[in-house]
A and B are shown apart, each in its own frame.
Chain A
Amino acid sequence: MSEIQKPKETETIPFYPDHIKTEIRVVWVMLGIAILVGAIAMFFPVGLEEPADPMVTPAHTKPEWYFLALYQILKISKIPGTNITIQPEIWVSLILVALLILLILPFIVKKGDSKKNIRNRLIGSVIFVLVAIALTIQGWFS
């Protein structure tokens, strides 16, 4: 047995101090980033726009960036290439249903631990992220 054996996947480390130490290292990095953000903000603050005025509607009203993708979906009123119109209510209902499915996902999907399943979920997630990013960018510049 001259070759070096890999450590088994079942080997463990104690929670304290080994695991805590790695977590504290992450915490230090995060704190450093936070302080860096604070330092940069002394020269480039978050800032404010004009005070809120219900009488004056700005040219572009947008939600926060993390709702932009959903907002873009709601704006789709026609399926491209067809004449079928879609009311925003239908999109909102679909999003709510999707959220509900997300909430009870483990009660629907019960199997799937093979390499193939993981690869499929990976591909699905990448497509989801790419579509979300594309919609967000589209919403950002529209």
Chain B
Amino acid sequence: MRETFSNRIKVLIIIVLLFGSGILIASKAHGKQMLTEGYKIEHSGETIDWEVTENVIIQTASSQRPPDPEQDECLHCHISGSAENLWVPLTRWVTFGTVGIVMAFGFTRSVWVWRNRKPWEPISTRVGNWIDERYQTKNALEKVLNKPVPNWATRWWYCLGGITAFLFVIQAVTGIMLAFYYKPTPEAAYESIQYIENEVLFGASIRAIHHWAANGMIVMCIAHMLRVFIMGAFKAPRELNWSSGVILLITTLAFGFTGYLLPWDQRAYWASTVGSAIAGSVPDVGELILVFLRVGWNITAATLSRFFALHVIVLPIMVIVFMGLHFLMIRKQGLKEPL
């Protein structure tokens, strides 16, 4: 047992060295070829003098600074580095690396089959067994996956809630993408949205998906709620499921309300003014709510910060917690049987 193990290590080291050096040599050769070809374009007919080349590279690097952001014709080309061919080495590594890994895997597999005299077990089985040996997950997973679902659960009106959940996933992904570029201050917010719309690669698409999926999420939320209401699925024993659902609806509306201010344009500013004024007309505690929402009596930089924090930190946590409860409860109790 011990001997086979050390032998395996030896074989592995040999494979890694063999293929690693092969990949390195190949990629270096490829890189040198790329460099000299680029050099050939500039100095056709001359032999390569590496000192001259180095000077040329230094000179061009210092003279070809990217232009100012306002005068840059393709800002995202500079930001993503495509103007400087920064992506070439990665593509090289991915290409040669994939070939190397595939070949190394084939070699290991052949050696394993030859040494052990038995058929190869797929990687997924091995990983599954490895985890199961340590954490005994197989039974629990099987129980979860094999849980019987009534066959009428695939009718279309049962997918409305699922669609809402999936739209939330879309919102999370596109929202994180937008947050990479968005700046939550009155001076910079509007410009950063303009920047997302005009300069960021697919920025306008991501923003549009976030915008329309938000509207879709509210529509689907209400549709799901009406379905549950009409079919009477909210009644005992599913009371808490309904209540958590109503909380999720309110959270979704709060998402829409806080997110609407973030672009900081006229529509956003005045919609938030009207919205918070309505919240302020609640009897007795209205003014407190207003001051708490606006952080003062007017919508200012502090309001924007607060709405941003609510939109990207507080509300997502709330949605995840209540959605988890919502799913756990329906999983435990099952769907209500239709009449």
| A interface, CB within 8 angstroms of B | 7, 9-16, 18-19, 22-23, 26-27, 30, 34, 37-42, 45-54, 56-58, 61-67, 70-71, 74, 88-89, 92-93, 96, 99, 102-107, 109-113, 115, 117-118, 121-122, 125, 129
Contacts and interface: CB of A to CB of B under 8 A. Distances in A.
A106 B264 contact: no
| B interface majority secondary structure | helix
Contact of A52 (B151, B234, B268): B268
Given A57-B270, A109-B234, A129-B226, 8 more contacts: A22-B154, A48-B265, A63-B278, A66-B253, A70-B278, A92-B278, A106-B243, A113-B235
A88 B243 CA distance: 27
Interface string B172-212: 00000000000000100010011001000010111111011
17 contacts: A9-B152, A9-B338, A14-B146, A15-B145, A15-B146, A16-B146, A19-B154, A30-B166, A30-B170, A38-B205, A47-B197, A48-B265, A50-B265, A54-B269, A65-B215, A113-B339, A125-B226
A107 B167 CA distance: 30
Nearest to B282: A92
B239 A107 contact: yes
Contacts, number: 201
A40 to B, nearest CB: 7
Contact of B236 (A7, A48, A110): A110
B269 A52 contact: yes
Nearest to A66: B218
B267 to A, nearest CB: 5
A121 B11 CA distance: 72
B273 interface: yes
B274 interface: yes
A130 to B, nearest CB: 12
Contact of A64 (B209, B236, B257): B257
